[in-house]
Amino acid sequence: MATTSFFADTGDGYVDNDAVAVYSTCRNAATGTGSSSTVTNIDESLVCRAILFGGNYFISRAFFPFDTSALGSGSTVTAAEFNLYIEVTAKFDTNTDSFCVVQTSQASTSSLTTSDFDAVNFTNGGARTIAGFSNANQYWPWTLNGTGLGWVNTTGFTKLGLQSLLDINNSTPTGLNQLTGATYFSDNTGTSKDPYLSVTYTPGASVNSNFLAFM
């Protein structure tokens, strides 16, 4: 058994849909109103949320592609943890919300567009409650559950995201459910604050070359 970490690819970022008067219209839209995959860091309030503010609804969904092909064909993933560096300065939790790891299906692993807003599977692969955050500058981990482990691609890209549990469950927010403070992405210089996925796995069995020659 081995454990290795993979940094997010350059296509990490967020897509949001902002200032929409009807919640179902905001949530079910195929296209968002804004996106970015080129920021070094941005306020967490834009990264993941489902909120009501000023009579309108705002939803943000984050995307984090990881090239996990080095795990290799036949490997068995036994545990995984998604880590995101956030400098938390405040939290708002009107509806007792959580931020959940989800599987995403954006077309590109190097960029995002507003058309990726609906490229999420609305399935909780591992959650962290807003209440569980504190005002601290650190990596915050999400442990993937059994469903989330099934999303780790041992021969290609693993596409993960963050989505509000209210968003996943189609529950209408009645106020603010978000963090404030800087969240760091792969475009940040160096790797000391980059998003990363830690994977524990059993490598696939080695093929005996002599057996292949005999065959």
Q: Which amino acid is at 104?
A: T
Nearest to 158 by CA among 95, 102, 79: 102
Element (H, E) at 212: helix 209-214
pLDDT of residue 32: 98
| Stated pTM of the model | 0.93
d(CA 53, CA 57): 6
Query: What are 7's two structure tokens?
Result: 């940094």
Q: What is the mean pLDDT of the chain?
A: 94
Question: What is the mean predicted confidence (pLDDT) over 168-184?
Answer: 98
What pLDDT, on the 0 to 100 scale, is given for residue 204?
Answer: 85
The tens digit of pLDDT for each residue in 119-174 reads 999 999 999 999 999 999 999 999 999 999 999 999 999 999 999 999 999 999 99
pLDDT tens per residue across span 59-71? 999 999 999 999 9
Place of tokens 């941005």: 42
pLDDT reported for residue 168: 98
